[in-house]
Protein backbone atom coordinates (compact mmCIF):
# COMPACT_ATOMS: atom_id res chain seq x y z
CA UNK A 1 0.00 0.00 0.00
CA UNK A 2 1.28 3.35 -1.03
CA UNK A 3 -0.67 5.64 1.29
CA UNK A 4 0.49 9.08 2.10
CA UNK A 5 0.49 9.91 5.81
CA UNK A 6 -2.56 12.15 5.36
CA UNK A 7 -4.70 9.37 3.77
CA UNK A 8 -3.54 6.87 6.42
CA UNK A 9 -4.58 9.19 9.20
CA UNK A 10 -7.98 9.88 7.56
CA UNK A 11 -8.59 6.15 7.24
CA UNK A 12 -7.72 5.49 10.82
CA UNK A 13 -10.02 8.30 11.93
CA UNK A 14 -12.99 6.96 9.83
CA UNK A 15 -12.43 3.36 11.00
CA UNK A 16 -12.44 4.49 14.59
CA UNK A 17 -15.68 6.46 13.97
CA UNK A 18 -17.34 3.46 12.31
CA UNK A 19 -16.31 1.13 15.12
CA UNK A 20 -18.06 3.39 17.61
CA UNK A 21 -21.44 3.18 15.76
CA UNK A 22 -24.20 1.23 17.53
CA UNK A 23 -24.75 -2.37 16.36
CA UNK A 24 -28.29 -1.59 15.08
CA UNK A 25 -26.98 1.21 12.82
CA UNK A 26 -24.24 -1.02 11.45
CA UNK A 27 -26.86 -3.66 10.71
CA UNK A 28 -29.08 -1.15 8.88
CA UNK A 29 -26.13 0.17 6.86
CA UNK A 30 -25.15 -3.39 5.90
CA UNK A 31 -28.69 -4.19 4.76
CA UNK A 32 -29.03 -0.94 2.80
CA UNK A 33 -25.79 -1.75 1.00
CA UNK A 34 -26.98 -5.29 0.15
CA UNK A 35 -30.30 -3.88 -1.03
CA UNK A 36 -28.62 -1.31 -3.32
CA UNK A 37 -26.29 -3.94 -4.77
CA UNK A 38 -29.21 -6.28 -5.52
CA UNK A 39 -31.14 -3.45 -7.18
CA UNK A 40 -28.10 -2.61 -9.30
CA UNK A 41 -27.72 -6.24 -10.37
CA UNK A 42 -31.42 -6.44 -11.29
CA UNK A 43 -31.16 -3.27 -13.34
CA UNK A 44 -28.12 -4.56 -15.23
CA UNK A 45 -29.82 -7.88 -15.94
CA UNK A 46 -32.87 -6.09 -17.37
CA UNK A 47 -31.29 -3.32 -19.34
CA UNK A 48 -28.28 -4.75 -21.06
CA UNK A 49 -30.00 -7.67 -22.83
CA UNK A 50 -32.92 -5.40 -23.81
CA UNK A 51 -30.57 -3.07 -25.66
CA UNK A 52 -28.56 -5.77 -27.32
CA UNK A 53 -31.06 -8.55 -27.83
CA UNK A 54 -33.61 -6.86 -30.04
CA UNK A 55 -32.56 -3.25 -30.73
CA UNK A 56 -29.42 -4.19 -32.62
CA UNK A 57 -31.02 -6.67 -35.02
CA UNK A 58 -33.87 -4.20 -35.54
CA UNK A 59 -31.39 -1.48 -36.48
CA UNK A 60 -29.46 -3.86 -38.69
CA UNK A 61 -32.69 -4.84 -40.47
CA UNK A 62 -33.65 -1.19 -40.88
CA UNK A 63 -30.22 -0.33 -42.29
CA UNK A 64 -30.38 -3.30 -44.65
CA UNK A 65 -33.90 -2.36 -45.77
CA UNK A 66 -32.81 1.24 -46.39
CA UNK A 67 -29.78 -0.02 -48.32
CA UNK A 68 -31.88 -2.34 -50.47
CA UNK A 69 -34.45 0.41 -51.03
CA UNK A 70 -31.85 2.95 -52.13
CA UNK A 71 -30.13 0.42 -54.39
CA UNK A 72 -33.43 -0.52 -56.02
CA UNK A 73 -34.25 3.17 -56.53
CA UNK A 74 -30.83 3.79 -58.07
CA UNK A 75 -31.06 0.80 -60.43
CA UNK A 76 -34.58 1.76 -61.48
CA UNK A 77 -33.47 5.33 -62.25
CA UNK A 78 -30.46 4.09 -64.21
CA UNK A 79 -32.67 1.80 -66.27
CA UNK A 80 -35.11 4.64 -66.96
CA UNK A 81 -32.29 7.00 -67.98
CA UNK A 82 -30.91 4.41 -70.36
CA UNK A 83 -34.37 3.86 -71.89
CA UNK A 84 -34.78 7.62 -72.39
CA UNK A 85 -31.31 7.83 -73.97
CA UNK A 86 -32.25 5.05 -76.41
CA UNK A 87 -35.51 6.78 -77.29
CA UNK A 88 -33.85 10.19 -77.73
CA UNK A 89 -31.12 8.65 -79.89
CA UNK A 90 -33.81 7.15 -82.15
CA UNK A 91 -35.72 10.45 -82.27
CA UNK A 92 -32.58 12.37 -83.19
CA UNK A 93 -31.87 10.21 -86.26
CA UNK A 94 -35.42 9.42 -87.45
CA UNK A 95 -36.60 10.63 -90.89
CA UNK A 96 -39.46 12.25 -89.03
CA UNK A 97 -37.91 15.10 -87.01
CA UNK A 98 -38.99 15.79 -83.40
CA UNK A 99 -40.60 19.06 -84.50
CA UNK A 100 -43.13 17.07 -86.56
CA UNK A 101 -44.70 16.02 -83.26
CA UNK A 102 -45.05 19.55 -81.94
CA UNK A 103 -46.02 21.35 -85.17
CA UNK A 104 -49.73 22.32 -84.99
CA UNK A 105 -49.72 23.01 -88.76
CA UNK A 106 -48.70 19.41 -89.48
CA UNK A 107 -51.49 18.20 -87.23
CA UNK A 108 -54.05 20.18 -89.26
CA UNK A 109 -52.42 18.94 -92.48
CA UNK A 110 -52.82 15.30 -91.40
CA UNK A 111 -56.44 15.94 -90.44
CA UNK A 112 -57.19 17.61 -93.76
CA UNK A 113 -55.60 14.85 -95.76
CA UNK A 114 -57.46 12.15 -93.80
CA UNK A 115 -60.75 14.02 -94.35
CA UNK A 116 -60.18 14.52 -98.06
CA UNK B 1 -24.98 3.97 -29.36
CA UNK B 2 -28.41 3.02 -30.62
CA UNK B 3 -29.50 6.67 -30.62
CA UNK B 4 -26.48 7.62 -32.69
CA UNK B 5 -27.18 4.93 -35.27
CA UNK B 6 -30.84 5.95 -35.53
CA UNK B 7 -29.85 9.60 -36.02
CA UNK B 8 -27.30 8.67 -38.70
CA UNK B 9 -29.74 6.40 -40.44
CA UNK B 10 -32.48 8.99 -40.56
CA UNK B 11 -30.00 11.54 -41.92
CA UNK B 12 -29.01 9.14 -44.70
CA UNK B 13 -32.66 8.53 -45.53
CA UNK B 14 -33.51 12.23 -45.54
CA UNK B 15 -30.56 13.06 -47.80
CA UNK B 16 -31.26 10.18 -50.13
CA UNK B 17 -34.94 10.91 -50.56
CA UNK B 18 -34.76 14.73 -50.62
CA UNK B 19 -34.70 14.91 -54.44
CA UNK B 20 -37.86 12.79 -54.53
CA UNK B 21 -39.86 15.59 -52.99
CA UNK B 22 -38.14 18.16 -55.19
CA UNK B 23 -39.15 16.76 -58.60
CA UNK B 24 -40.56 13.35 -59.32
CA UNK B 25 -39.91 13.49 -63.07
CA UNK B 26 -36.15 13.63 -62.55
CA UNK B 27 -34.08 10.64 -61.57
CA UNK B 28 -33.53 10.68 -57.82
CA UNK B 29 -29.99 9.37 -57.69
CA UNK B 30 -27.46 10.19 -60.41
CA UNK B 31 -23.74 9.73 -59.92
CA UNK B 32 -21.68 12.89 -60.65
CA UNK B 33 -20.88 13.29 -64.36
CA UNK B 34 -17.76 14.77 -65.98
CA UNK B 35 -17.47 18.45 -66.87
CA UNK B 36 -16.68 19.40 -70.50
CA UNK B 37 -12.92 19.52 -69.88
CA UNK B 38 -13.03 15.99 -68.43
CA UNK B 39 -14.57 14.46 -71.57
CA UNK B 40 -12.30 12.52 -73.90
CA UNK B 41 -11.61 13.87 -77.42
CA UNK B 42 -14.05 11.41 -79.01
CA UNK B 43 -16.90 12.46 -76.68
CA UNK B 44 -16.09 16.12 -77.29
CA UNK B 45 -16.22 15.61 -81.07
CA UNK B 46 -19.61 13.85 -80.90
CA UNK B 47 -21.18 16.23 -78.39
CA UNK B 48 -19.60 19.37 -79.91
CA UNK B 49 -23.02 21.02 -80.56
CA UNK B 50 -23.62 20.95 -76.78
CA UNK B 51 -20.19 22.29 -75.77
CA UNK B 52 -21.50 25.64 -74.54
CA UNK B 53 -24.40 24.21 -72.56
CA UNK B 54 -22.57 21.20 -71.12
CA UNK B 55 -21.22 22.61 -67.84
CA UNK B 56 -24.59 24.14 -66.95
CA UNK B 57 -26.40 20.87 -67.56
CA UNK B 58 -27.81 18.71 -64.73
CA UNK B 59 -25.95 15.47 -64.14
CA UNK B 60 -28.76 13.22 -65.32
CA UNK B 61 -28.86 15.11 -68.66
CA UNK B 62 -25.10 14.76 -69.05
CA UNK B 63 -25.42 11.05 -68.33
CA UNK B 64 -28.14 10.73 -70.98
CA UNK B 65 -26.03 12.53 -73.61
CA UNK B 66 -22.98 10.39 -72.79
CA UNK B 67 -25.19 7.34 -73.28
CA UNK B 68 -26.30 8.75 -76.66
CA UNK B 69 -22.65 9.44 -77.57
CA UNK B 70 -21.87 5.75 -76.92
CA UNK B 71 -24.50 4.79 -79.54
CA UNK B 72 -23.20 7.33 -82.07
CA UNK B 73 -20.36 5.26 -83.65
CA UNK B 74 -22.88 2.61 -84.76
CA UNK B 75 -24.82 5.13 -86.86
CA UNK B 76 -24.37 5.73 -90.57
CA UNK B 77 -22.54 8.97 -91.51
CA UNK B 78 -25.86 10.46 -92.65
CA UNK B 79 -27.53 9.60 -89.33
CA UNK B 80 -24.55 10.95 -87.40
CA UNK B 81 -24.83 14.28 -89.20
CA UNK B 82 -28.59 14.40 -88.62
CA UNK B 83 -28.17 13.65 -84.93
CA UNK B 84 -25.61 16.41 -84.48
CA UNK B 85 -27.84 18.88 -86.37
CA UNK B 86 -30.74 18.15 -84.01
CA UNK B 87 -28.83 18.05 -80.70
CA UNK B 88 -29.07 21.73 -79.80
CA UNK B 89 -32.73 22.26 -80.60
CA UNK B 90 -33.63 19.03 -78.84
CA UNK B 91 -31.68 20.03 -75.74
CA UNK B 92 -33.26 23.51 -75.80
CA UNK B 93 -36.83 22.17 -75.97
CA UNK B 94 -38.74 22.60 -72.67
CA UNK B 95 -38.89 19.31 -70.70
CA UNK B 96 -42.72 19.14 -70.89
CA UNK B 97 -42.60 19.41 -74.70
CA UNK B 98 -39.89 16.77 -74.86
CA UNK B 99 -42.05 14.46 -72.75
CA UNK B 100 -44.97 14.99 -75.16
CA UNK B 101 -42.78 14.27 -78.19
CA UNK B 102 -41.36 11.14 -76.54
CA UNK B 103 -44.76 9.73 -75.66
CA UNK B 104 -46.06 10.34 -79.20
CA UNK B 105 -42.89 8.93 -80.72
CA UNK B 106 -43.27 5.76 -78.63
CA UNK B 107 -46.72 5.31 -80.17
CA UNK B 108 -45.45 6.20 -83.64
CA UNK B 109 -42.79 3.50 -83.42
CA UNK B 110 -45.47 0.92 -82.75
CA UNK B 111 -47.41 1.73 -85.93
CA UNK B 112 -47.28 -0.80 -88.76
CA UNK B 113 -44.48 0.04 -91.24
CA UNK B 114 -46.87 1.19 -93.99
CA UNK B 115 -48.59 3.66 -91.64
CA UNK B 116 -45.23 4.98 -90.47
CA UNK B 117 -44.23 5.42 -94.09
CA UNK B 118 -47.48 7.26 -94.79
CA UNK B 119 -46.92 9.73 -91.92
CA UNK B 120 -43.35 10.33 -93.13
CA UNK B 121 -44.55 10.94 -96.69
CA UNK B 122 -47.14 13.40 -95.37
CA UNK B 123 -44.44 15.21 -93.44
CA UNK B 124 -42.29 15.52 -96.53
CA UNK B 125 -45.20 16.99 -98.46
CA UNK B 126 -46.11 19.31 -95.59
CA UNK B 127 -42.49 20.44 -95.26
CA UNK B 128 -42.47 21.47 -98.94
CA UNK B 129 -45.57 23.68 -98.56
CA UNK B 130 -45.20 27.44 -98.91
CA UNK B 131 -44.96 29.32 -95.61
CA UNK B 132 -48.39 30.95 -96.07
CA UNK B 133 -50.01 27.56 -96.37
CA UNK B 134 -48.23 26.31 -93.25
CA UNK B 135 -49.39 29.42 -91.41
CA UNK B 136 -53.00 28.81 -92.55
CA UNK B 137 -52.84 25.24 -91.27
CA UNK B 138 -51.30 26.38 -88.00
CA UNK B 139 -54.04 28.95 -87.47
CA UNK B 140 -56.68 26.39 -88.33
CA UNK B 141 -55.26 24.00 -85.76
CA UNK B 142 -55.04 26.69 -83.08
CA UNK B 143 -58.57 28.00 -83.80
CA UNK B 144 -60.06 24.70 -82.74
CA UNK B 145 -61.79 24.98 -79.39
CA UNK B 146 -60.00 22.02 -77.84
CA UNK B 147 -56.73 21.36 -79.59
CA UNK B 148 -55.74 17.75 -79.14
CA UNK B 149 -51.99 18.51 -79.07
CA UNK B 150 -51.47 15.16 -80.71
CA UNK B 151 -50.29 14.18 -84.16
CA UNK B 152 -51.46 10.62 -83.86
CA UNK B 153 -55.05 9.78 -82.95
CA UNK B 154 -55.41 8.56 -79.38
CA UNK B 155 -55.39 4.81 -79.17
CA UNK B 156 -58.58 3.15 -77.86
Specify whether the backbone of B34 is left (phi greater than 0), alpha (psi in -120 to 50) or beta. beta
Q: How far apart are CA B7 and CA B2, in angstroms?
A: 9
pLDDT at B55: 96
On chain A, the residues whose CB falls within 8 A of the CB of B30 are 77, 81
Cα–Cα–Cα angle for B24, B26, B27, rounded to 5 degrees: 105
**Which residues, in sequence order, are CB contacts of B135 under 8 Å at separation 6+?**
A105
Q: Which residue in B79, B20, B17 sits closest to B46, CA to CA?
A: B79
**Which residues, in sequence order, are CB contacts of B126 under 8 Å at separation 6+?**
A105, A106, A109, B134, B137
Q: How far apart are CA B45 and CA B84, in angstroms?
A: 10
Q: Choose the weakest-confidence range: A19-28, B16-25, B57-66.
A: B16-25
On chain A, the residues whose CB falls within 8 A of the CB of B90 are 88, 91-92, 98
pLDDT at B149: 59
The answer on pLDDT for B30 being more than 90 is: no
The answer on pLDDT for B22 being more than 70 is: no
pLDDT at A11: 87
Q: Find the closest chain A residue to B67 by CA distance.
A: A85
Q: How far apart are CA A82 and CA B73, in angstroms?
A: 17
pLDDT at A45: 76
Domain ranges in chain B are: 35-92, 95-140
Alpha carbon dihedral B45, B46, B51, B53, in 10-degree steps, equals: -170
CA of B26 vs chain A CAs: smallest distance (Å):
9
Q: How far apart are CA A4 and CA B141, in angstroms?
A: 105
Q: Which residue in B73, B94, B106, B76 sits closest to A91, CA to CA?
A: B106
Q: Which domain holds residue A88?
A: 5-115
Question: If contacts are CB pairs under 8 Å, which of residues 114-143 in chain B contact chain A?
Answer: 119-120, 122-123, 125-126, 129, 134-135, 137-138, 140-142
On chain A, the residues whose CB falls within 8 A of the CB of B99 are none
B30 within 8 A of B63, measured Cβ to Cβ: yes
Pick among B10, B99, B122 to test the A interface (most A CBs inside 10 A):
B122
Widest pairwise Cα distance in chain B: 76
> Do B83 and A92 count as a contact with CB atoms less than 8 A apart?
yes
What are φ and ψ of residue B23, in 5° steps? -160, 115
Judge whether A113 is closer than 8 Å to chain B, CB to CB: yes
The answer on pLDDT for B8 being more than 90 is: no
pLDDT in tens, A9-68: 888 888 888 878 888 988 999 999 999 999 998 888 776 655 567 788 889 999 999 999
pLDDT in tens, A56-115: 888 999 999 999 999 999 999 999 999 999 999 999 999 999 989 988 899 888 888 877
pLDDT at B59: 93
What's the burial of A44, exposed, middle or buried (CB within 10 Å: 0-12/13-18/19+)?
exposed
Domain count, chain A: 1
On chain B, the residues whose CB falls within 8 A of the CB of A100 are 123, 151
On chain B, the residues whose CB falls within 8 A of the CB of A99 are 89
pLDDT in tens, B137-148: 888 888 874 545
Amino acid sequence: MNETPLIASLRRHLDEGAAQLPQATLERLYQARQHALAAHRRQQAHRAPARQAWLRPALATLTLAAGIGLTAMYLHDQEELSAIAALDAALLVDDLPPRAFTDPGFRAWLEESSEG
Amino acid sequence: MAGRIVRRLSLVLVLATAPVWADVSKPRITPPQPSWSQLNPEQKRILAPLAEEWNGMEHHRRQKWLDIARRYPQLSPEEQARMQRRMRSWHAMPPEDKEKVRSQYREFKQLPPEKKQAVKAQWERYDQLPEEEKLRLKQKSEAKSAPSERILPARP
